[in-house]
Amino acid sequence: MIHHSIMDDGLRKELESTARAMVAKGKGILAADESNATIAKRFQTIGVESVEETRRFYRELLFTTPEAEAFISGVILFDETIRQSTSDNVPFTRILEEKGIIPGIKVDKGLTILPGTDNETVTQGLDGLDARLDEYRKLGARFAKWRAVITIGNHKPTPLAIDANAHILARYAAMCQRAGIVPIVEPEVLINGSHDIDRCERTIEATLKALFTALDHHGVLLEGIILKPSMVTSGDTCPDQAGVEAVAAATIRCFKRSVPAAVPGIVFLSGGQSFELATIHLNAMNAMGSFPWELSFSYGRALQETTLKAWAGQTENKSKAQKVFYHRAKCNGAARSGSYTEAMELEG
């Protein structure tokens, strides 16, 4: 691995400028990288069969939403989607680029059990990644995403699970940068469980400290990455749910302790929160003042859930669904500056 201190100057500048554009003021990232299995489950909720044509139509609806680029800086695509075109045969990547939206790609290959643990996981997909990154770059991708999963539970996470995931995320990030692609590093600490907010905060802090140590060991240029973490919240079955201000305060405190100021931006995952709560939490953090990093969003379900319902698989609902998607993007764009209000929901 070439250490970033001897990285080509042109490459360094390109990575830095892409990363900054991904967290431009007032904007965030649409995660539209659901695997075919996941999107099939989402389509099932609206009674739509998941075949290539319905997936293509739905994603075209998202990507061609008028004016959405005012609030969306980038889109994470799935392998099938980065190769698809609109109904009039324009590649999706070109449609996005023409709107000033940066195309990205999910490159991990899902989770596998980490031997020596009680069902903790690591993420697969490093094998052959160099060649895939080169191909994705030719297809138009300028950033990538890799998701690691950390579970809170009885004697979990183990130091082994934290370290193994940190090491793999760092290797992925170094490979991306070598290919001229900005890595989104996503260490998701799952919301599932009865743990309280303090336990969540300790776990996320330990996870992030291990991650940044590993990134340093692998010579990753911090100015050319984006962090995609969980918010510090109570577990979803915790009887005592922390309020919005407590979540915002704990999340900021945790990040100040563990995320270097060199990182240009943090894009939160919504991870099991309702779409309203994901927006309200982001807004509360940005209302607390300014930080060394941009605090943004990289939402999938929280941007798409209401859009899917509005579309309901009916071609004639396209513009209605696009209005709903635009509205969700606008609400989250406002949360980027702490200026979201619940009254905005009523405008939709």
Q: Which residues are marked as active site? A: 186, 228
The DSSP line for 115-184 is TTSSS-EEE---TTHHHHHHHHHHHT--EEEEEEEE--BTTBS-HHHHHHHHHHHHHHHHHHHHTT-EEE
Question: What is the radius of gyration, based on Cα positions, of the chain?
Answer: 19
Measured distance CA(270)–CA(111) in Å, rounded: 19
Q: Is 113 helix (H, G, I), strand (E, B) or coil?
A: strand
Measured distance CA(225)–CA(20) in Å, rounded: 9
The amino acid at 292: P
Burial 136-147 (b: 16+ CB within 10 A, else e): bbebbbbbbbbb
CA distances to 59, 267, 305, 332 from 345, in Å: 24, 22, 14, 11
**Is 290 exposed, middle or buried, given 0-12, 13-18 or 19+ CB atoms closer than 10 A?**
exposed
